[in-house]
Amino acid sequence: MLVNTFEIKSKGGLHARPAALFVQECNNFESEIEVQKGQHRINGKSIIGVMALAVETGESIEVFVEGPDEEEAMKAIEAFLAKQVD
């Protein structure tokens, strides 16, 4: 299992369009992907779950990836969040 912490820097946080694109990115991989903010952990492949976290600009999330393509998945998530999608 890989775990990484990311600060969300996009102006709109991880809402609406960025959340949908994040979920699309996660769904490209077989590994299980979970996202945690505070005490709440959700399935990273669920748009409703990602939206429910209500991640704002400047907040941090932890991403947990476990499975056969976990390294590729974590790299892709890191690259996606670094793009600052708004």
Which residues are part of the catalytic machinery? 15
Which residues lie closer than 8 Å to 40 by C-beta, 6 or more apart?
A: 52, 53
Tokens for 32? 């299980």
Give strand pairing partners of 42. Answer: 35
Number of CB atoms found within 10 A of residue 27's CB: 13
